[in-house]
Amino acid sequence: MIYFGLVCVKSGVKVYNAKNIFPVACAEEIVLPADLIAKLTPQNSTGLGSASVQGNLLNTRASTMPVLDVVNTWLTNKLTADELALILRNRSRFTFTIGVGDRRAEFKSRFRIATNWHGEDADNLLLAPDPWNDPRYNFRLTFTGSAGTMKLTDTHASSNTYGSIRYFTVRVKA
């Protein structure tokens, strides 16, 4: 099978008889198909929130949700389960970014991109920085790559009342 995209090589030089394959250094050999790379580009993102745009959102909750559903909320051309499994098995090759904030449109300015999480497993991690407000939102993330699940909670007014994920991306590391 011939893939078009990026090839991670352990060491030395590998020659591939296909166009559009670019070797990059990594610990183990994996091939990232061009279709997957295209799905992870900014051009395929949709509904990303910000301090001035509400965007798509997933409400905070006490239960876990599939990472596939979360990632696909912000993609035009959705990932398949197999593509996400490849990403989760090779998380060191990708950067995950989460943005959190208030789910109410009138408070869309209460939004922050978390700077202390980028795709690693987390258990009740307090995301930082917290969107400005009093009382604090105290967004907490649990992310389990092997299970393909995640959970985001908040304690702003009461448990999981006003918080939401408003931005979520996965990008191939350069």
Following DSSP, what letter does each residue of the chain receive, concatenated? ----EEEEESSS----SSTTEEEEE-SS-EEEEHHHHHHTSGGGB-----SS-----EE--SS-EEHHHHHHHTBSSPPPHHHHHHHHHTGGGEEEEEEEEESSGGGTT-EEE-SS-SSS-EEEEE-SSPPS-SS----EEEEETTTTEEEEE--SSSTTSSEEEEEEEEEE--
Residue 134, Cβ neighbours under 10 Å: how many?
A: 5
Query: What is the pLDDT at residue 47?
Result: 98
Query: What is the pLDDT at residue 34?
Result: 95
Query: What is the pLDDT at residue 12?
Result: 39
Which residues, other chains included, contact 91 with Cβ-Cβ below 8 Å and sequence gap of 6+?
Answer: 119, 120, 145
Query: What is the pLDDT at residue 1?
Result: 35
Query: What is the pLDDT at residue 61?
Result: 97
- pTM, two decimals, is 0.84
Query: What is the pLDDT at residue 6?
Result: 54
Query: What is the pLDDT at residue 16?
Result: 45
Query: What is the pLDDT at residue 23?
Result: 52
Query: What is the pLDDT at residue 17?
Result: 44
Q: Which residues of the chain have pLDDT under 70?
A: 1-29
Query: What is the pLDDT at residue 99?
Result: 98
Query: What is the pLDDT at residue 60?
Result: 98
Residue 17, Cβ neighbours under 10 Å: how many?
A: 6
Query: What is the pLDDT at residue 10?
Result: 43
